[in-house]
Amino acid sequence: MKANLKYILSWLAVMVLGFALIDVLILGGVIDTFIENMLVTIGINIILATGLNLIIGFSGQFSLGHAGFMAIGAYATAIITQYWSTELGFIISLFVGMALAAIIAAIIGTATFIRLKGDYLAIATLGAAEIIRNVINNLKITGGSSGMFNIPQLCSWPTVYVLVCITTVVLLNFIRSRDGRAIKAVREDEIAASAMGINTTKWKLAAFVLGGVTAAIAGSLHASYLQTIAPSDFGIMESISILVIVVLGGVGSMTGTFLAATVLGVLDTVLQNFGSLRMVIYAIALILIMIFKPSGLLGNWEFSFKNLFARFTKKKEARS
């Protein structure tokens, strides 16, 4: 119990220090509006990619429908805050988006996971995301293809930072729980897991729903911060961009996802000055990284205070 408390306090200290550091740098003028926008984008991408990594890296299901769930959260926030432009309205819109994403993810997952796997599942989830996008594109309440403008900005970098911390803690605790071990067992060998009495469809569906909910959270933050959204923002390229972060960081590594989202966010910002060459340089950088590090930047490695303390203790014992 004391050991677990030590690890919990260590992570809490990291989160508090990170928040304080960013706040001090903003007050000191080191972080301007441009860099703050970059940090917010990185935070939103982290939430998106960690949720997708749960689906792909830990449950072993290939999904290309993440942008659809992001759109649900974005439009839920945009519509509700247009009529209720307060912090309470934003919080309610956040939960409404999460609930809608969970329901739709459960429906899609129930219809697909029983019969489909691998590439077929990816195509099915991609189709589901396109259905969501086209429904939004044809509704009057969503502004149709023109999208929605002048959305109240009720989200700031502290909001994004806190939600990155909360979603990460929830996902990691889920992965390391008994339920998470069941999901990883399904990933390793679905037939063997089924033979051991694990309800494979149930746990694949649980991972898919939780991943969809995190995508809705990111969508809500995206809409509230940028104040403008359109159906074209949530197409297949958005799903692929999230997938790139997961693969680049390392499938099955949450630490890798954080690193990849940060590296790509900084790289994209730095390359803004290169104009039309930006995407070419960005693509070349991705190709080189995948050639020399095909398993991703960190593979399936995870940072752990438990391992860090264990190494420190061993070194201390060796010296004595």
Q: Where are the domains of the chain?
A: 36-235
Closest by CA position to 188, among listed 176, 200, 178, 197: 200
In the chain, % of residues over pLDDT 90:
40
Range with the lowest mean pLDDT among 67-76, 93-102, 201-210? 201-210
pLDDT reading at 263 higher than 80 = yes
C-alpha 44/C-alpha 55 separation (Å) is 17
Q: Which of 30-34, 44-48, 74-78, 110-114 has the lowest mean pLDDT?
A: 110-114
Average pLDDT score over the chain:
86
Give me the pLDDT at residue 299, please. 77
pLDDT confidence of 1, banded at 50, 70, 90?
very low
DSSP-derived secondary structure letter, 261: H
Amino acid at 182: A
Range 172-182 average pLDDT: 88
DSSP letter at 148 equals B
pLDDT higher than threshold 80 for residue 201:
yes
Greater pLDDT, 114 or 91: 91
Residues 6+ apart with CB under 8 A from 211: 51, 52, 54, 55, 63, 66, 69, 105
Contact 221, 163 (CB under 8 A): yes
| 2 vs 136, residue with greater confidence | 136
- List, in sequence order, the alpha helices (H) in 31-189: 33-53, 66-83, 87-112, 118-137, 157-175, 178-188
| CA-CA-CA-CA dihedral for 300, 305, 308, 309, to nearest 10 | -150
Residue type, 17: L
- Residue 116 DSSP one-character state: -
What span, in angstroms and rounded, lies between the C-alpha atoms of 194 and 190?
6
**Per-residue pLDDT tens over the stretch 55-71:** 998 888 888 889 999 99
How many residues would you count in the chain? 320
In the chain, the largest separation of any two C-alpha atoms, in whole Å, equals 73
Chain centre to alpha carbon of residue 251: 13
Say yes or no to pLDDT of 93 above 50: yes
Give the residue-averaged pLDDT of 68-88: 93
Q: What is the pLDDT of residue 159?
A: 95
